[in-house]
Structure 1
């Protein structure tokens, strides 16, 4: 049986003044991170920024794991450490991430 892709959305918080650096780092995302996401079934992944509140809004399609489920891998832990200086993080450097329930969808 083929597993269908699910949409998943969450928010994170960027530190003030770090928008340009956040974009730069994601424009140069490490190939190993991008490959891991694809292999885990994550696709159509976008991150948006509310510049007034420094809130990052992420949405992705997933078939299996979410990007937020990959924290046990060494490359994701290294990416989290790389991003920790510009985002709100947990003690393990993972971004503080809040899942958002879907309340409307127009196909």
Structure 2
């Protein structure tokens, strides 16, 4: 199992909107995440600065990364782009974190 942690950046006036969109996650997006091996996925908000901390576990990181090539993922990125910092392809700007410690 590979643990992935990332920081993303939410617009400060969009905290509620972000939460509502995830409470109503599209079934197709949920299916795509699971089909690409994502489990135990959580996102946390730092209300002080809009940073999002995302944590998930995957069986195969390469398989998980292939989700970026799916139409549903691109559609989700487009939907989320107005409320967070994104790259030119509308993917969220992320900062990958390196795991330094884990207690099982």
Query: CA RMSD, aligned part only?
Result: 1.3
Structure 1 residue 71 displacement after superposition:
1.4
Seen in structure 2, the aligned counterparts of structure 1 residues 43 and 88 have a Cα distance that, compared at 3 Å, is same
Q: Gaps spanning 5+ residues in structure 1: where?
A: none
Aligned match of 1:98? 95
Q: Secondary structure at the match of 1:103?
A: coil
Q: Secondary structure at the match of 1:75?
A: helix
Structure 1 residue 33 displacement after superposition:
0.6
Report whether the alignment pairs 1:25 with 2:21: yes
Q: What is the TM-score with the length of structure 2 in the denominator?
A: 0.93
> How many pairs were matched up?
103
1:42-98 per-position Cα deviation (integer Å, ceiling 9, x unaligned): 100000000001000000000124755421110000000000000000011000011
